[in-house]
Structure 1
């Protein structure tokens, strides 16, 4: 799970400057620059799809890891007990994982709409 996290983080830091450049230059770009920016956009889009897939796999592994901790924590009969044992950090981690997944999902929904509108 740590390897997936580092993978996602490295890819995110790789694409952030490219996404920022696309965002800044998109309105004032000439026709040739627009083509270059579109190629960069498709690269960023593909990387975000990979990161989303790794985040989905990471959420599944996180759930399995929490399930496997139930017999090891005294008094924990379900994942709620596991989360309570790690309070407040386990709750913050779960909320952050869901929030990041939600943000990637929104971005990719906008990406799919953008691809369909271009024809």
Structure 2
């Protein structure tokens, strides 16, 4: 797996971990804690920027060549089918679109 794609997956894992920690702290104290919300938000923002940056680099330069592997994140959309979870997880189904990335046309710089 190329470095750019690996960084995106690492950020996704950190988002899941930081949101879990934030929810545990909120569940214990019933107070919205900015100390745990801040890192969760920052890592989520970094993940979103990483996905957009990788997509733009792929369209312009053809790198990273394994961008299609981000399609596996789409499986987290299935969590939205579990009763009691937020329907916002359905948004992850959009990542299945990365499986078709090999057919995308690149913009060639002149």
TM-score interval for Structure 1 and Structure 2 normalised by the shorter chain = 0.3 to 0.5
Q: Which has the higher helix share?
A: 1
> TM-score normalized by structure 1?
0.41
> TM-score normalized by structure 2?
0.43
